[in-house]
Chain A
Amino acid sequence: MTASRKFGQPTRRREDAPLLTGRADFVADLVRPGMAAMRVVRASVAHARLRGIDFSAVANDPACLGFLSAHELPAGTGALPAADLVADSKPAHHGVLAREVVRYVGEPVAVVLAVDAYAAEDLAERVAIDYEPLPVVMDVHSGIKPGSALLYPQFGSNIVHQTTQLVGDPDGAFAAADIIVDETFSFQRVAANSMEMRGAIATLDAASGRYLVHSSTQIPQILRKELARITGIAPERLRVIAPQVGGGFGAKEAVYAEEILVLLALQRFGRATYWLEDRQESFIGSCHGREQSVRLRAAVTAAGIVTAVEVECLSDIGAAYQFLGNTPGAAIASVRGPYRIPNFRSRARSVVTNKTPLNVYRGAGYPQAIAAMERVMDLAATATGLDAAQIRRRNLLPPEAFPVERGIAYPGCGPVVFDSGNFPALLDSTLDAVDYPRFALRRARTAPEIALGLGLSFVVEMTGGGGGEPARLRLRPDGRLQLLSGIVPIGQGSETTLAQILADHLGVAIESIDVLSGDTDDSPDSPGTFASRGATMGGNAACRAADALIHRACRLAAELRGARAADIAWQDGVLVDRTRPGESLTLAALMQQAQAAGVVPAGGLDAAACYNDDAVSWSSACHAAVVEVDRGTGVVRVVDYAVTHDCGRIANPLLVDGQVMGGAVQGLGQCLFEEIRYDPAGLPLSKGYMDYVLPSAATVPRFTLRHIQTPSPLNPLGMKGAGEAGCSGAVAAIANAIANALGPQTTVPNGSGPFTPQLLHRILQGAPREEASA
C-alpha cells in the first residue's frame, strides 16, 4: 500500500455523472421500436380454483401479438426457484403462471402481448378468468389454528417451516428470575419500493442464436441459471444483463415470473418482448417484507441482568416463498443483540397466507427482532428502576469477549459467531451524540403540548457471506485496469468503493481502474448484491484477482527482459527488477513492450480469483432517536437521530453515511407511515403512494453519525457490511422514543405501528389498547 491512499477517503462517486444528466440506461431505456409489450393478467381474487381462462375477446384483436396461460407454456417448464435454507420445509413453490389455483391477488395467471403497452393493458382487461372461490387465510394466528382453511391442503398445515434453537437452561433462568417481561409484538407488512420498478426485456441475437435478457435485478448470474433451468434453454445460450438498477433493497433479489415470461414469449412468438412494471402492479406483484408476530419473554434479575430470553416468531410469508427461513432466521440470530443473555430458546415458524409472497427487505428479520428486544429492555429497566442506558450497559458483551460464540445457527450461514465489536464504546458515543445526561432538562423545557421522548436501540447483524465471491481483473493493452465484479450496483456506489480498494491494494491511480459488472457474459459467476456483502466480499475478491494478475504481470516482465521470474517484484504500483535497482516498469509500459514483442493476447492480461472465505462478519450499531409527539394531533416528529456504527474498516465514509441515513429513514417510514393493508377477503388496499405513505424530506431528522472501526479479523481488509444497520435499528429506536414520550402510564402498541397520527391520537384520547390498534 502506498502513501496516496484511497481507502478511507470520502471519494466522490464515479457513478454520478450519467445519473445526474439523465443519460444512464435503466431497463426501460432499452425498449426499442418493434418490441412486443407484455402485460401480466393477475389474479383478482385471493384464493380460488381456476376454472377457465378465456382469451377469445383478445385472440383476434389486431393489436394482439400473442397470449400465454399455464396451458400454453411448453411442457417441462420449471417452477419458480426457492432457496430453502431449512430442513423439513414444505415446498410452497409457484409455477411461472398459475395453473389450477390462485393464492393471492396479483399472482400471474396469463400474459398478453401487444403492439404497445397501452394496447397490452387494454387486452389484459379483456381476458376472462373464471374463478371458483376458496376460503382465505389472512393472518398467521388464525392460519395455524386447527380447522383453518389451507393454501396447500397436501401439506395438512399452513406452517411450511419450523426451527427451534436452545442455548443453556432457559427454564432454570426463568424459575430463578426476579422479574419476567412477556410481550407480543406485531410488525406490519411493508414493501421495499425502489423508485425504479422492475422490468425485463428478452431479445434474440440472430447471428449467435443466443438469448439476451435485460432485467432490473440484484442477481443476474442466479437469474441466468434459473432461466436455463426453468425454460430448458442451454445456459451457454443465455446472457443476462442487469443495466442501471434504480434501487433494490432486497426486492430485486428474487427470480420473478415476468423475467421468465418475456423469454418464453420471445421463444413462442418470435418477437423481442418487454415488460415494465407499473406502481400499482408493483404493490401486488413484487415481494413484500417484514410481516411477523414476535412473542418475547425475558427473565431478569432485580439488578437488571437479563438471564434468559425465549422468543417465538411467526412469519407471514404470503402465498409462496423464495428464501425460506431467511427472515425468521435473521430475527433469531440477532434477537439477543449485543447482550450476554446466556440462556435462550427460540421457535420460528413460517406461515403461508393469501397475500403476495414475502421476501427479504433491507434487514430481513433484524428490525423486528431488534425492536422486540429493545422494547423489552426498556420495560425491564422500568421494572428494575434502572434507566435505559444503565440496563443496556449492564448486559452488554464486553470488548474482550470477542469472538463470541452465540450457540445458535443462522440458517444457511452456519453458527452465529460475533467476530468483532466494541459495544460499550458504541453506547457511550451515541449517548454523547444525543446529550443523554441532559435529556431530562431538555424534556422539562419542552412546551406542554409536546411529549418529548428518547429511544435507544442496538443492532448486531450478519453481513457478507452468500457463498464465494469471484472477481476478474484485466490489464488492457492501453495499460488500464478493468475490474469485472459480480457485485451489481443498485445505488450503493460499489464501483467507486471497489476502485478505491483496488487502487490502494495495487498502489496505482484510481483513475486507471474501470469497474464493470452486471453482464453474465463478462462478469464472474457471483451470487450478486445482497446481505450487505458488496464491499467486503467484492473488495476482498478484487484484491485476490489483483494478486493473481500481478503474478502474471511479473512473469511477463521477466519473459520480456530475459530475467528470472523470481527477480521481478511488484513494488508501490510498478514492476521492479531486483537485479537492477532504480529501474521500474509501469503496467502501461509493460503492455507497450509486450505488444511490441507480440507476446500478449489482444484483450490484454486477464486473471481471475475467488474470495472463498465464506466468512460472515457482524456489524453493529447503537441508535438513539429523539421524537416529539404532538399531544393534540398525535403527529410524531423524529427531531434528532444519532447512530454510532461499526462496520470495521471504512473504505468510503461518504457512502457509508449515505447508507446509514437512507436506511434509517426507511426504518422511520416503517415505524411512522408505511403499511400494506388487505381487506378480510384478501383484496389489497395499498395500491400506490396515495394509500401507502413513504417518508418525505420534511420527515427527516437532524442526523449525528459516528463510527467506531473495529476491524473484522475474518477478511484481509477488516471490513464488515454497511447496507442494513441503519434500517435495522430505526424501528426500535423510534418506537422506544414514542413510548418514552408518552410515559409508562400510556400503553403504546408493541411493534412497528405504523404510529400514524390517527393511532396516536386515539391513544392520547385514552382509548383502550385494542381499539387503538384496530
Chain B
Amino acid sequence: MTRAPTAADAAIAVVMTVDNATVRAQVPARYLLCDFLREQAGARGVHVACGHGVCGACTVVVDAVPVRACLMLAVQADGCVVQTIASLPALEGAAPGDSGLTRLQRAFRDHHALQCGYCTPGMLVSTASFLAANPGPSRGQILDHLNGHLCRCSGYANIIAAIESVRP
C-alpha cells in the first residue's frame, strides 16, 4: 500500500539508503520506519509482530546500529543508511554460498532454527550485528542477545545451537 498523506498531517521529505538503494518519499511525521521500509522501500522482510518494541521481528540496522523499526519514525531515519535482511551478506561481511544463503542462514536451516519463519529475518539481522560486535560470544552472551527476540514456534533451543555453531 502506498501511504497517501492526508490533510491532517503535512508531508515531510525523507531520503534514506535502504539495502543500497536510495529511497525518497514525502511522509507524515508519524509514519513509522517499519511502514516506510515495507511500503516505500519494498523491504517486506521487515516483519511487524508486536508494534511496541518487544518482539524484535522488525529489527533493522540504522547507521550500523540495530533498531526496532516499529519504534522509530521514518523522519528520524532521514539521511540514514538502513540495512534489512536483504543486506545480511554485508552485515555478515561475507558473500552467500552456492545455496544463496549466508553462513548464518545456513546455520539456521541446518539446525531447524525456524518453523513459521516470521520472526526469523529480524533475528538474523540482529544476530549478524551481534556477532560482528562480539565474535566468539559465550552462551550467556548469546542468551542475553536473544532475549531481545520472541519466537513462538521453536522453543529457542535450535536457535541457540545455530548461533553457537557459527562462532569462530
List residues of chain A with CB under 8 Å of any chain B CB: 12-13, 15-17, 19-26, 28-29, 31-35, 37, 62-63, 115-119, 122, 192-197, 244-247, 249, 274, 278-280, 490-493, 654-655, 657-658, 661-666, 688-690, 694-698, 700, 703, 726
B1-27 contacts to A (CB < 8 Å): 1-4, 6-8
Q: How far is the CA of A662 from the CA of B112 in the complex (A)?
A: 11
Report A-chain residues with C-beta under 8 Å of the C-beta of B4: 115-116
Given the contacts A197-B49, A661-B155, A115 and B6 also touching, CB distance less than 8 Å: yes
Q: How far is the CA of A34 from the CA of B46 in the complex (A)?
A: 21
Nearest-neighbor residue (CB-CB) of A122 within chain B:
B8
Q: List 24 A-B contacts (CB under 8 A).
A: A16-B117, A19-B116, A20-B121, A21-B101, A29-B44, A33-B1, A115-B6, A116-B2, A116-B4, A119-B8, A192-B152, A193-B152, A246-B47, A247-B118, A279-B49, A654-B112, A658-B154, A658-B155, A661-B158, A663-B155, A666-B155, A689-B50, A689-B52, A726-B155
Whether A26 pairs with B47 at a CB distance below 8 angstroms is: yes
- Name the contact of A116 in the complex, choosing from B3, B105, B124 (C-beta under 8 A): B3
Q: How far is the CA of A15 from the CA of B46 in the complex (A)?
A: 19
Report A-chain residues with C-beta under 8 Å of the C-beta of B153: 195, 247, 491, 658, 662
Whether A20 pairs with B109 at a CB distance below 8 angstroms is: yes
Given the contacts A29-B44, A63-B6, A279-B49, A247 and B115 also touching, CB distance less than 8 Å: yes
Q: How far is the CA of A564 from the CA of B153 in the complex (A)?
A: 52
Min Cβ gap B95→A in Å is 14
Min Cβ gap B143→A in Å is 5
- Does B63 lie at the interface of the complex (its beta carbon under 8 Å from any beta carbon of A)? no
Q: How far is the CA of A274 from the CA of B99 in the complex (A)?
A: 35
Q: How far is the CA of A492 from the CA of B49 in the complex (A)?
A: 19
Report B-chain residues with C-beta under 8 Å of the C-beta of A25: 44
Whether B52 pairs with A279 at a CB distance below 8 angstroms is: yes
Whether B45 pairs with A195 at a CB distance below 8 angstroms is: no
Whether A118 pairs with B155 at a CB distance below 8 angstroms is: no
Min Cβ gap B41→A in Å is 12
Min Cβ gap B166→A in Å is 14
B117-168 contacts to A (CB < 8 Å): 117-121, 124, 142-144, 146-147, 149-160
Q: How far is the CA of A662 from the CA of B49 in the complex (A)?
A: 18
Whether B84 pairs with A195 at a CB distance below 8 angstroms is: no
Min Cβ gap B38→A in Å is 8
Q: Which 8 A-B pairs have the closest CB atoms?
A: A22-B45, A19-B117, A491-B116, A246-B118, A697-B146, A665-B155, A491-B115, A22-B85
Nearest-neighbor residue (CB-CB) of B150 within chain A:
A694
Q: How far is the CA of A688 from the CA of B70 in the complex (A)?
A: 14
Report A-chain residues with C-beta under 8 Å of the C-beta of B84: 22
Q: How far is the CA of A19 from the CA of B144 in the complex (A)?
A: 24
Highest count of chain B CB atoms <10 Å: which of A117, A664, A665:
A665
Nearest-neighbor residue (CB-CB) of B2 within chain A:
A33
- Name the contact of A17 in the complex, choosing from B35, B57, B101, B154 (C-beta under 8 A): B101
Nearest-neighbor residue (CB-CB) of A21 within chain B:
B85
Given the contacts A662-B115, A666-B152, A696 and B50 also touching, CB distance less than 8 Å: no
Q: How far is the CA of A81 from the CA of B3 in the complex (A)?
A: 35
Min Cβ gap A724→B in Å is 13
Report A-chain residues with C-beta under 8 Å of the C-beta of B121: 19-22
Q: How far is the CA of A247 from the CA of B46 in the complex (A)?
A: 17
Report B-chain residues with C-beta under 8 Å of the C-beta of A63: 6, 8
Whether A195 pairs with B116 at a CB distance below 8 angstroms is: yes
Report A-chain residues with C-beta under 8 Å of the C-beta of B43: 22
Instruction: Beyond A17-B101, A22-B121, list 9 extra A-B contacts (CB 8 Å).
Output: A21-B105, A23-B44, A37-B1, A62-B7, A247-B153, A492-B115, A689-B150, A697-B143, A703-B157
- Name the contact of A195 in the complex, choosing from B7, B147, B152 (C-beta under 8 A): B152
Nearest-neighbor residue (CB-CB) of B54 within chain A:
A689
Whether B109 pairs with A662 at a CB distance below 8 angstroms is: no
B40-62 contacts to A (CB < 8 Å): 43-52, 54-55, 57
- Name the contact of B124 in the complex, choosing from A20, A29, A246, A696 (C-beta under 8 A): A20
Q: How far is the CA of A278 from the CA of B43 in the complex (A)?
A: 19
- Does B66 lie at the interface of the complex (its beta carbon under 8 Å from any beta carbon of A)? no
Highest count of chain B CB atoms <10 Å: which of A24, A116, A118, A195:
A195
Q: How far is the CA of A31 from the CA of B44 in the complex (A)?
A: 11
Report A-chain residues with C-beta under 8 Å of the C-beta of B119: 195
B contact residues, range: 35 or more
Whether B52 pairs with A19 at a CB distance below 8 angstroms is: no
Whether B109 pairs with A22 at a CB distance below 8 angstroms is: no
Report A-chain residues with C-beta under 8 Å of the C-beta of B159: 697
Min Cβ gap A699→B in Å is 8
Whether B154 pairs with A16 at a CB distance below 8 angstroms is: no
Whether A118 pairs with B156 at a CB distance below 8 angstroms is: no
Whether B54 pairs with A21 at a CB distance below 8 angstroms is: no
- Name the contact of B100 in the complex, choosing from A17, A192, A666 (C-beta under 8 A): A17
Given the contacts A15-B117, A196-B118, A661 and B154 also touching, CB distance less than 8 Å: yes
Report B-chain residues with C-beta under 8 Å of the C-beta of A695: 155-156
Q: How far is the CA of A62 from the CA of B118 in the complex (A)?
A: 35
Min Cβ gap A362→B in Å is 10
Highest count of chain B CB atoms <10 Å: which of A32, A37, A119, A666:
A119
Whether B50 pairs with A688 at a CB distance below 8 angstroms is: yes
Given the contacts A116-B4, A196-B49, A20 and B114 also touching, CB distance less than 8 Å: yes
Min Cβ gap B161→A in Å is 10
B90-122 CB mask vs A (1 if < 8 Å, else 0) is 000000000111000100111010111111110
Given the contacts A195-B57, A492-B115, A689-B54, A12 and B2 also touching, CB distance less than 8 Å: no
Min Cβ gap A754→B in Å is 16
B50-87 contacts to A (CB < 8 Å): 50-52, 54-55, 57, 84-86
Report B-chain residues with C-beta under 8 Å of the C-beta of A688: 50-52, 54
Min Cβ gap A743→B in Å is 29
Q: How far is the CA of A13 from the CA of B160 in the complex (A)?
A: 18
Min Cβ gap A145→B in Å is 37
Report B-chain residues with C-beta under 8 Å of the C-beta of A12: 109-110, 112
Report A-chain residues with C-beta under 8 Å of the C-beta of B45: 21-23
Report B-chain residues with C-beta under 8 Å of the C-beta of A689: 50, 52, 54-55, 150
Report B-chain residues with C-beta under 8 Å of the C-beta of A244: 117
Whether B100 pairs with A195 at a CB distance below 8 angstroms is: no
Q: How far is the CA of A352 from the CA of B156 in the complex (A)?
A: 36
Q: How far is the CA of A491 from the CA of B52 in the complex (A)?
A: 24
Min Cβ gap B128→A in Å is 12
Whether A195 pairs with B49 at a CB distance below 8 angstroms is: yes
Whether B115 pairs with A697 at a CB distance below 8 angstroms is: no
Q: How far is the CA of A161 from the CA of B52 in the complex (A)?
A: 39
Min Cβ gap A668→B in Å is 8
Nearest-neighbor residue (CB-CB) of A245 within chain B:
B116
Q: How far is the CA of A22 from the CA of B59 in the complex (A)?
A: 12
Nearest-neighbor residue (CB-CB) of A25 within chain B:
B44
Whether A658 pairs with B152 at a CB distance below 8 angstroms is: no
Whether B114 pairs with A19 at a CB distance below 8 angstroms is: yes
Whether B105 pairs with A20 at a CB distance below 8 angstroms is: yes
Report A-chain residues with C-beta under 8 Å of the C-beta of B35: 117
Q: How far is the CA of A83 from the CA of B120 in the complex (A)?
A: 35
Q: How far is the CA of A23 from the CA of B19 in the complex (A)?
A: 14
Given the contacts A19-B114, A196-B118, A664 and B155 also touching, CB distance less than 8 Å: yes
Whether A493 pairs with B50 at a CB distance below 8 angstroms is: no
Q: How far is the CA of A663 from the CA of B105 in the complex (A)?
A: 23
Report B-chain residues with C-beta under 8 Å of the C-beta of A24: 117
Given the contacts A195-B55, A492-B115, A22 and B86 also touching, CB distance less than 8 Å: yes
Whether B147 pairs with A21 at a CB distance below 8 angstroms is: no
